[in-house]
Amino acid sequence: MNRYSALAWASIAAGLAFLFVVPLLPVSLPYFFYMMFWITMACAFNIIYGFVGYLPFGYVMFYGVGTYVTAVLWSRFHVPIPAAILASGCIGTALALAVAPTLRLRGIYFAIVNFAMAMVLRILVANLPFEWSGGSFGITLSRAYRPLTSYYFMLGLMVLSGLTVLWVSRSRLGVALRCIRDDAAAASVLGINVPVNRLKAWMIAAAIPSVAGGIEAWFTAIVDPATSFNMMVTAKTIVYAMFGGLGTVIGPVFGAVFMYGLDDFIWGRFPVLNLLVLGLMIVFLILFMPRGIAGTALRKWPRLRQVVK
Amino acid sequence: MIELLLMAVISGVLMGIIYGLIGIGMNILYGVMRIVNFAHGEFMMLGAYMAFTLNRLWGLNSLESIFVVLPLFFILGILLHALFYERIQQSDDPEIASFLTFFGISLVITSVILLIWKADPRGVPFPFSRVSWFIGPVFLPLGRLISAGVCALAIGIISVFLYRTYTGKAVRAIIENRDAVSILGIDVRRVSALVFGIGLSIVAITGCLVTLSFPAITPVQGQTYTTIAFLVIVLGGLGTPLGALLGGLVYGLAESVSSVFMPVALSPVVAFVILILMVMVRPQGLLGKVSTRI
């Protein structure tokens, strides 16, 4: 471990310690809750797009299913919240398994089909029987409202997903995934089981946002189809992860912290311009900085490799 | 029941022709430049709002405003080409890069529409004295009939351009094989710029026609049209310009006939299920020849 990685670990530890004591400080709890939420989303998205190169343009569906499973289980079947959140993760992963055949598609086809699936799910959820999902009004969970506990749940999930990305990146799985991204045919010639490795990444990348959705539903105590299946969740996840640097471990974390801060700042002052700025940001990122902050830094200073990767 | 079905079929065919033109606009860009225009619907809405303003300012009706909006959109297309073409072609994966870039542009357009025209639904007054005709028991909405007519005319002109002119031949050649074409001395850049202009001109036509076929427009409708365009071109074959017409007809019929048997709210589900099945079973589309990379 050289001094760069020591510094990186020290700053991560300091950041976590700060997040741990945030509820005691006179700062906005929702702000830090959502910061952790977006870090989690960006990290999980990184696993499937950054490492394997599949762009799930309907990524919001796992989050949306997560919110609804927790809300429905708690409000209609009186399942305790932690168990409901766990169930969210399981059902989200099961959904990923069910749509796994789409992984045969590549590039734009996969993105479009995934997007279409998210639209189908939104329409289906909005048209579920009213007693189940409350139609377009959604479900309120106000009797389960525990902002502090859900905050720490989110902190736990964020740490877990960070560690997952770190593990994926440094394990054989990560090597295999990067090979698949760069050239699937060559990877398979080298003896990498492409479908199995791809499926592993896909299920991990689905489980995390599903659990995050469950915790977020608990934190806001309200769930409705328009918010749960909002395209903007996908869009922001992509932008935050890309800004930091896809395919690196630390990039999406950094991207989410920075861009969420910026987004919140703009949103607070100019609500309509928020969309405009987000759009311009996306265009700028894709055209001028497709590798993100971490990727660009990596090109310039390759010695940073052990810190960001 | 028979009348209901007959009406559904007629309405499906009319809408199918309109959807077909919407798809052609997106497909020609994809075919020539591998650009996935995710802002297609938002550009349409921009055209529709311009038609609305032209109506307010000079009293132009939806059809007349095409003559103003179309040249503006042609220039817009050339500008977009100049701004983004090079960068997108240089990136690692041009399709995904263009997809995300145009997604960003779609957000920009939506917010510009919100800033200029606000979020209220707007409409252009219907220019004709009769709203519909009855032929026997069958009801014919005049607005859609005229829109479908204009679209059919536009599709005819595009077909003549693609199959009877020299430049059109170059466009088809680029779709067939980009690299070979540039070796043969065709200026791919210039043809691409032209195609971008044509693509957006088609968007202008469909945008203005939206105000004729539907009573109200809102800023957030764009996404619906983008999805329809996707569906239509995936059905017809990505990169097969006229395949979009077939895709449009299939989609229009599926949408209107399914709404006879099930709640209207669920008819998009039918469409998406068709899309998903289509991509899984035959990703090259009904008419497509190009095989996908695995």
**B216 within a domain of the structure (yes/no):** yes
- Between the CA of residue B229 and those of A29, B277, B294, what are the distances in Å? 42, 17, 24
**B208 within a domain of the structure (yes/no):** yes
Q: Measured between CB atoms, does B48 come within 8 Å of chain A?
A: no
Instruction: Tell me what pLDDT residue A1 has.
Output: 56
Tens of pLDDT, residues A24-49: 888 888 899 999 999 999 999 999 99
Q: How many domains does chain B have?
A: 1
pLDDT at A115 over 80: yes
* ipTM value > 0.85: no
- What is the CATH number for B198? 1.10.3470
- Closest CA in chain B for residue A283: B101
Q: Are A23 and A148 in contact (CB under 8 A)?
A: yes
Tens of pLDDT, residues A234-277: 888 988 888 888 888 888 898 899 888 888 887 777 777 878 88
Q: Which residues of B touch A127 (CB under 8 A)?
A: 263, 265-266
- Between the CA of residue A168 and those of A5, A14, A251, what are the distances in Å? 18, 24, 15
Q: Measured between CB atoms, does B3 come within 8 Å of chain A?
A: no
- Between the CA of residue B100 and those of A111, A235, A305, B36, what are the distances in Å? 10, 9, 27, 9
**B288 within a domain of the structure (yes/no):** no
Tens of pLDDT, residues A165-182: 999 888 888 888 888 888
Q: Residue range A295-306: average pLDDT? A: 71
Report the residue from B100, B273, B283 with minimal CB separation from A105.
B283
Average pLDDT, chain A: 85
Q: What does pLDDT average to in each consecutive run of 10 residues of chain B (294 residues)?
A: 82 88 87 84 91 86 86 93 85 80 89 86 75 72 84 87 86 82 84 90 90 81 84 79 85 84 76 77 64 40
**B229 within a domain of the structure (yes/no):** yes
pLDDT at A188 over 60: yes
Instruction: Tell me what pLDDT residue A303 has.
Output: 67
**B292 within a domain of the structure (yes/no):** no
Please name every residue paired with B134 in a beta bridge, in sequence order, or none if there are none. B139
**B294 within a domain of the structure (yes/no):** no
Cα-atom radius of gyration of chain B, to the nearest Å?
Answer: 19
**A261 within a domain of the structure (yes/no):** no
Q: How many domains does chain A have?
A: 1
Report the residue from A55, A115, A235 with minimal CB separation from B96.
A55
Q: Which residues of A touch B234 (CB under 8 A)?
A: 109, 112
Instruction: Tell me what pLDDT residue B292 has.
Output: 42
Q: Which residues of B touch A57 (CB under 8 A)?
A: 99
CA B200/CA B40 separation, integer angstroms: 9
Nearest to A47 by CA among A256, A243, A200, A156: A200
Report the residue from B87, B112, B276 with minimal CB separation from A117.
B276
CA A210/CA A91 separation, integer angstroms: 8
**A134 within a domain of the structure (yes/no):** yes
Q: Measured between CB atoms, does B115 come within 8 Å of chain A?
A: yes
Residue A153: which domain range?
28-231
Residue B73: which domain range?
2-281
